[in-house]
């Protein structure tokens, strides 16, 4: 019974799922632009000392917590967009780059 169910679930999933990607989705263009503008680097002289000792210490002091509840896909996207806005105000550096990379992953751009 369980084996049959697995076979049927695969069948239903294939029939009810579309893998087509809309290549010129305007929403993606907006997010790409947003990421690009947030990632615009300042001159190299500003970029170099970005990962300071202070930031490095701070990273080690932060306790990581598992989220108390699952966040929906829409929630993840909203959070990522908010993070991009915050990151755009950060000095260029590793922290900013990592935040933007994570956001890009969540937004799939």
| Contact positions vs another protein (CB under 8 A) | 5, 8-9, 12-20
Contact by Cβ (8 Å): 94, 29: no
Contact by Cβ (8 Å): 28, 89: no
Cβ closest to another protein, residue 3 vs residue 15: 15
User: What span, in angstroms and rounded, lies between the C-alpha atoms of 41 and 87?
Assistant: 12
Tell me how far, at minimum, the Cβ of 78 lies from another protein, in Å: 20
Cβ closest to another protein, residue 19 vs residue 40: 19
Answer positive or negative: Cα dihedral of 5, 10, 11, 15.
Answer: positive
Cβ closest to another protein, residue 9 vs residue 46: 9
Tell me how far, at minimum, the Cβ of 11 lies from another protein, in Å: 8
For the chain, how big is the Rg over CA atoms in Å? 20
Cβ closest to another protein, residue 6 vs residue 33: 6
Tell me how far, at minimum, the Cβ of 103 lies from another protein, in Å: 25
């Amino acid at each position: 019974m369980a084996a049959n169910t697995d076979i049927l679930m695969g069948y239903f999933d294939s029939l009810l799922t579309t893998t087509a990607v809309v290549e010129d989705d305007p929403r993606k263009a907006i997010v790409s632009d947003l990421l690009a503008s947030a990632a615009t680097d300042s001159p190299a002289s500003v970029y170099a000392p970005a990962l300071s000792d202070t930031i490095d210490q701070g990273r080690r002091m932060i306790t990581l917590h598992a989220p108390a509840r699952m966040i929906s896909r829409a929630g993840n996207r909203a959070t990522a967009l908010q993070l991009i806005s915050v990151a755009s105000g950060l000095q260029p550096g590793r922290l900013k780059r990592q935040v933007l990379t994570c956001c890009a992953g969540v937004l799939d751009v």
